[in-house]
Amino acid sequence: MGSMLMLTHTWILRELLDLAGLEVTTPDIFVYNVCPDILPIHRSVHSSMTHRIPRFMKVPPEFRKAHYVQIHLLADDIAHHGRICEEVVTEFNPDATGYTYVMGKSLVDPIMDYCARFGCAVNRLEAIYRSHMIVELSIDVYLRETAAGNGLIDLFQDAMAKTDRYYMPEFTKTLSWLFGVEESVIREAMNHAMDFYTLEKMIRFTKGDERVPRYVRIFGADDANESACAGMEELMDQGMSLIGDPTAYLHGVVRAIRESPYCGILQGLGDKAGT
């Protein structure tokens, strides 16, 4: 998992539902929407398993909430490739033209320098991948720190709590069908996620108390090294400077999804989302 907050995907889904005039009746749909990034918290689930789902596959009525997972994948396609991909992209493309990779280009050399300096050297391909992680994190932080993201953490926390309390049997059954893993694995992953995504930890992460050392560890450096932490904070500051105000990009993602064949599926959900 790159960014911890999940705010970008939550914002996109909330915006899509608002524009479609859909009333949310079951908040678990927001957890379906972020589950491709959450479930890899489990040792036996990999992001390749949760992201290589056909974007426009037909979903049986009993698993209809899988549509909210697919919306996540459409948003990722746009972020990474600049378009919705009818065919799943399975190979890493260092020349990807999506927003997160284009914006992250100027971070590649600084990331390579950082990793070389702190004993965790990476090649250029890995640095390109990590640059997009910093950009994604920056968008999440922007949403947390501005009015655009008002209520997102509360919405996410409420969705997690109510999914755990009311909707877990349906949730595990649907995702077991979609990803081809045992229901018990989905349940275990969610148990880990409930411990990981607490309100206190999310707030600490947004304030930087945990964000910097966590990314130092993700990059393979020692989070007890003050210089490594200072260097990571500098990379994060560069990421924030690069994105500036990303709301035009975010609205562009929403527009692209609404103009895609998936818009019909959104409309087909009727006047209530989640029913």
Tell me what the pLDDT averaged over the chain comes to: 91
Give residue 234's pLDDT: 97
Q: Answer whether 242's CB lies under 8 Å from 133's CB.
A: no
- Model confidence pLDDT, tens digit, residues 155-200: 999 999 999 999 999 999 999 999 999 999 999 999 999 998 988 8
Q: How far is residue 35 CA from its own chain's centroid?
A: 8
Judge contact between 51 and 92, C-beta under 8 A.
no
Domain range annotation of the chain: 7-273
For residue 24, what are the β-bridge partners?
273
* pTM as predicted: 0.93
Q: By mean pLDDT, which of 61-65, 174-178, 230-234 is the weakest?
A: 61-65
Tokens of 21: 């005039």
118/86 Cα distance (integer angstroms): 40
User: What is the share, in percent, of the chain residues with pLDDT greater than 70?
Assistant: 93
- For 233-255, write each residue's pLDDT tens digit: 999 999 999 999 999 999 999 99
In the block, tokens 């996109």 appear at: 12
End-to-end CA separation in angstroms for the chain: 29
How many angstroms separate the CA atoms of 229 and 118, rounded?
Answer: 10
